[in-house]
Structure 1
Amino acid sequence: MLRSAPVQGGDTVLIVGHGSREDSGNQEIRAFVDQWRVRQPGWRIELCFIEFAPPEMNAALLAAARSSRRVLVVPLILNAAGHVKMEIPEAVEDARRACPHTEILLAPHLTACDPILAILKRRLRKAMNALDMPDPTTTGVVLLGRGSSDRGANGEMAKMARWLLEEGDHELVDLAFTGITWPRLEKVVQRHTLLGMRQVVVLPYYLYTGTLMQRIHRQVEHLRAQYPQVRFACTEHFGFEKEIFELMEQRVQELGAGAPASRLPCDGCSYRELAHEMGHGHSHAHTHDHGHAHGAEQGHEHAPAHDHGHDHAHGHDHAHAAHDHGHAHHDHDHAHHGHGHDHAHDDHGHAAHDHAHPHKAEHNA
């Protein structure tokens, strides 16, 4: 436990959680904050959410800036997708303009790192001990995350899956997503059974509960019925593990000690400024790449006020400012227009859509 972090009087540590449509997830984050306050009684720790739960991030950040000498903004978020790359930095910029005499510093998200790997390895060992045949050579492992239109966020999960493979004895460690991108859990489990795995451990890559965690447990129950010859184990989310507290304390310590503030891949880029000028503001999370001679995908993680209720993903090429409109993918639990699909909704209220053609875009329900 870090007790020496230079958090001073007049400082506010502002935790930014994502927020969930399922209030039990929001309550878990509030419980995390309560526990953190006990660990660090000398710190003024406040909480806000990006969406779905109060207090709302922009208002909470302004309130903290007006009442503090310095605000240390710490995202309680695993992967850097649209919210981390766009909305949090935009809120920080707005608060800096509104309160120029207050220093506002932004920490990185939790990221793919050794402490997170330690949690996953511990959860995997526990799951293996609960299985009848704890043989890693015949037990497949699936790291299951939210999924994003941002390849960097998906890449962080891919890194964790690879590290888990390299530091363990399992011959098969795969990655799956609950929505937005592929592969999905069902397809990965099918592959594992074809490769002769007798057992499968599903490791959800989630901090707290919510609609997606509930859906994951339902999916695993369906898989047990579909593959009665295979033993399944599914672990829980891991937001209260000691490593999460320690990572958050490390972020605060680094900011308070004068470490350079977070500069995310999309911070300060010309496209973000253009998005502001076009009036997108905070209601859109744009995920994009800065490479040249290729089209970068922009994922809108919030539906704007269109009459038809959809949010269209547009491809942006930073080198030529060209737009490439994707196709909608629909993914339903029931048969729709003659097609059988699996309908995946995440905590954002988005429908993840999956078709057999190679185009990819997102429509938010």
Structure 2
Amino acid sequence: MTTQHDTILLIGHGSRESEGNDEIHRFVAQWRTRQPGWNIEVCFIEFAPPSLHDGLLQAAAGSARVLVLPLILNAAGHVKMEIPEAIEHARAHCPGTEFLYGPHLTACDPILAVLRRNLRQCMATLDMPDPTTTGVVLLGRGASDRQANGDVAKMARWLMEETDHELVDLAFTGITWPRLERVVQRQVQLGMKQVVVLPYYLFTGTLMQRIARQVEHLRQQYPQVRFAQASYFGFEKEIFALLEQRVADLRAGVQDSRLPCDGCKYRELAHDLGHGHSHAHTHAPAPATDAVVHLHQHDHGHSHAPAHDEHHPHSHGVLTA
């Protein structure tokens, strides 16, 4: 199959803030400039059109093959259940089109390079850029999926391994813990004179706005501590390169063997609730063997657990401004 028959469908999360969705459209425009021979489209999981289902059907129109790429850092319920189920729906309605699902961006060295660069830039703004007295907080979105949260923890550890900072912690803006205020409190108690907050986010939105307010509140709460906050990093060259590698891998038939299913407490619950998403994501009738083809992070929904919020009794006075 020639690549001219491919449509590359980029899936963004979507934001209640139109600015965040506009940024994803600008990202797609820049990617089209980088790859003028590619047919690149975009859709959103929520909050913005076209929807995931509409985007898949539109991409399939006139395309022999659709390469589905989540523009998402960590694999939680959206990546593991919603997108695969939407792909199965699209396959049923577009039997003449092949759908291939690539992995999300994941915790990896290119993302680490972006975080290290953001950290260096923040350190350059501080009066005393001493890593031994500067705490770092990697601030992620938070999920009910332990493996998604574990990817953030992995990146925090990698930052410690690759820098001279003695204290690199992780925090989350919602759903899970610890939260930013509590982590900063601990770092101050440990003697940190400066704190760098590194948002683990691709684009702007309501949560990035909340982070800015929280950091400003922390500046007032700890006037003796200097704070620096990095920005999100969706437009970095490493993000484009990662997606281009995903496209190359899918076209070459490279399989993703990472299957974050071990210990998945939602596996049976998802099926009990009527979600028929199967374990095999092949693009032809299943062969009479035990082989299962996985071209993406394996799916199991984690969206059915009650969502924790900032008013949970274990939130320890989390800022909700």
Tell me whether the two structures share a fold, i.e. TM-score over 0.5.
Answer: yes
What is the aligned counterpart of 2:220 among 218, 225, 248?
A: 225
For structure 1, the residue ranges without an aligned partner over 5 or more in a row are 1-5, 283-296, 302-311, 314-327, 346-365
Distance 1:124 1:250 in 2: 25
Number of residue pairs the alignment of both structures matches: 297
What is the aligned counterpart of 1:91 among 86, 90, 97?
A: 86
8 Å CA contact 1:189–1:200 kept in 2: the answer is yes
After superposition, residues 102-251 of structure 1 pair within 5 angstroms as 102-251=97-246
8 Å CA contact 1:330–1:341 kept in 2: the answer is no
Distance 2:185 2:269 in 1: 44
Change (3 A) 1:344 1:73: farther
TM-score between both structures, scaled by the size of structure 1: 0.75
TM-score between both structures, scaled by the size of structure 2: 0.85
Q: Give the match for residue 254 of structure 2.
A: 259
Q: Does 1:31 align with 2:10?
A: no
Distance 1:106 1:298 in 2: 16
Distance 1:199 1:172 in 2: 11
Q: Give the match for residue 300 of structure 1.
A: 303
Distance 1:188 1:342 in 2: 10
Distance 1:330 1:256 in 2: 41
Identity %: 70
Shift of residue 329, structure 1, vs aligned partner: 5.4
> Which letter maps to 2:303?
H
Distance 1:41 1:298 in 2: 36
Instruction: Give per-residue Cα distances to partners, 1:58-85, cap 9 Å, x unaligned.
Output: 1110221232000000110000011000
Q: Secondary structure at the match of 2:23?
A: helix
Q: Give the match for residue 287 of structure 2.
A: none
Distance 2:43 2:118 in 1: 29
Shift of residue 245, structure 1, vs aligned partner: 0.4
8 Å CA contact 1:7–1:253 kept in 2: the answer is no
Shift of residue 179, structure 1, vs aligned partner: 0.7
8 Å CA contact 1:7–1:43 kept in 2: the answer is no
Distance 1:59 1:155 in 2: 32
Change (3 A) 1:140 1:93: same
Distance 1:80 1:70 in 2: 24
Instruction: Give per-residue Cα distances to partners, 1:22-53, cap 9 Å, x unaligned.
Output: 11110100000000000000000000000000
Please identify, of 91-100 and 272-281, the stretch whose mean Cα deviation from structure 2 is larger. 272-281
Q: Give the match for residue 37 of structure 2.
A: 42
Shift of residue 278, structure 1, vs aligned partner: 3.6
For structure 2, the residue ranges without an aligned partner over 5 or more in a row are 278-299
Distance 1:190 1:7 in 2: 56
8 Å CA contact 2:182–2:316 kept in 1: the answer is no
Q: Does 1:331 align with 2:310?
A: yes
Distance 1:219 1:68 in 2: 46
Distance 1:274 1:226 in 2: 43
8 Å CA contact 1:16–1:49 kept in 2: the answer is yes
Distance 1:163 1:107 in 2: 24
Change (3 A) 1:36 1:273: farther
Q: Give the match for residue 360 of structure 1.
A: none
Distance 1:104 1:263 in 2: 19
> Which letter maps to 1:249?
E
Distance 1:98 1:23 in 2: 31
Shift of residue 330, structure 1, vs aligned partner: 5.5
8 Å CA contact 1:131–1:233 kept in 2: the answer is yes
Q: Give the match for residue 291 of structure 2.
A: none
Distance 1:184 1:125 in 2: 23
Q: Does 1:70 align with 2:65?
A: yes
What is the aligned counterpart of 1:16 among 11, 14, 17?
A: 11
8 Å CA contact 1:117–1:163 kept in 2: the answer is yes
Change (3 A) 1:247 1:109: same
> Which letter maps to 1:159?
K
Q: Secondary structure at the match of 1:9?
A: helix
Shift of residue 342, structure 1, vs aligned partner: 3.8
Which structure ranks higher in relative contact order (CA pairs < 8 Å, sequence separation ≥ 6)?
A: 2
Distance 2:79 2:51 in 1: 15
Shift of residue 300, structure 1, vs aligned partner: 2.8
After superposition, the CA RMSD in angstroms is: 2.8
Shift of residue 256, structure 1, vs aligned partner: 1.2
Change (3 A) 1:196 1:273: closer
> Which letter maps to 2:55?
A
Instruction: Give per-residue Cα distances to partners, 1:309-335, cap 9 Å, x unaligned.
Output: xxx63xxxxxxxxxxxxxx855349xx
